[in-house]
Amino acid sequence: MTTMATTTAARADSVRYAALGAKLLMFALLLTALIWPDLSGIKGKAATARLIVYPIGAMVLPLWWWAYGRTRSKLHQTFPWPADLLLTLPWLIDLLGNRFNLFDTVSWWDDAMHFILWGLLTAGALLAFAPRNLSRGLTTFVALGFGATAAVIWELGEYVAFVRNSPELQTAYTDTLGDLTLGTLGALVAGLVVYRRSASAAH
């Protein structure tokens, strides 16, 4: 029993350190983008909007916890570090992908990111805010609702911020449809995974 408790505590510490490390790295990348914009990989790709939106996205759960969750949350007794890590990783991975120019040099990278990052984001939102006793159907519907809505907002933001004035406009319609489809599929997979994890934990 003591060994199991120690293992669980060590795992929780690892997740907490990973979440904090992801945030620190993300903020470091954003800071370097301010200092050396030509090297950031996001120049000409709505850099200003990313510098505003990404910190908000990574900090939304800690801010919610500070303002409300720590005293009145019925879902969590302590800060939900796994959810926080999942909600931080999409912003960090996107920055890294742009920093290493993967979106423009690897043909499948953009599609993979829309599927994977929306899956991570949806899983984080479900773990942070969705009740644990939802059925598989309701979990799936919540995941699809959140994921599809977030994907639409992202695509609208991309269009307003830089696509409409870039060479990508000619292929934007097809690309947007593909991005929305992959983001929604990623959210669907995340919903099923989170449900299975919650069901297993309940037993």
For the segment 52-71, the average pLDDT, to the nearest whole number, is 90
Q: Could you tell me which residue, 157 or 93, shows the higher pLDDT?
A: 93
Under the banding of pLDDT at 50, 70 and 90, the label for residue 197 is confident
Q: For residue 27, give both structure tokens.
A: 């903020």
Instruction: Using a pLDDT cut of 90, give the percent of the chain over it.
Output: 62
Sign of the C-alpha dihedral computed for residues 185, 119, 102 and 59 taken in this order:
positive
Mean pLDDT across the chain: 88
Instruction: Using a pLDDT cut of 70, give the percent of the chain over it.
Output: 91
Q: What is the pLDDT of residue 87?
A: 98
Task: Classify residue 71 by burial, with Cβ atoms within 10 Å: 0-12, 13-18, 19+.
Answer: exposed
Q: For residue 172, give both structure tokens.
A: 């934007």
| CA separation, residue 39 to residues 25, 35, 95, 96, 103 (Å) | 16, 9, 12, 12, 15
Q: Could you tell me which residue, 42 or 15, shows the higher pLDDT?
A: 15
> At CB < 8 A and 24+ separation, what contacts does 31-34 make?
33/95
| CA separation, residue 29 to residues 50, 93, 113, 145 (Å) | 11, 11, 18, 31
Is pLDDT at 138 greater than 80 in this prediction?
yes
**Structural domain for 15, as ranges:** 2-202
Q: What is the pLDDT of residue 45?
A: 81
C-alpha to C-alpha distance for 188 and 191, rounded to whole angstroms: 5
Is pLDDT at 69 greater than 90 in this prediction?
no
Q: Identity (one letter) of the amino acid at 47?
A: A
Q: What is the pLDDT of residues 147-195, one digit of tens each?
A: 999 999 988 887 777 666 666 666 667 788 888 999 999 999 999 999 9
Q: Please state the domain count of the chain.
A: 1
Q: For residue 10, give both structure tokens.
A: 């060590």
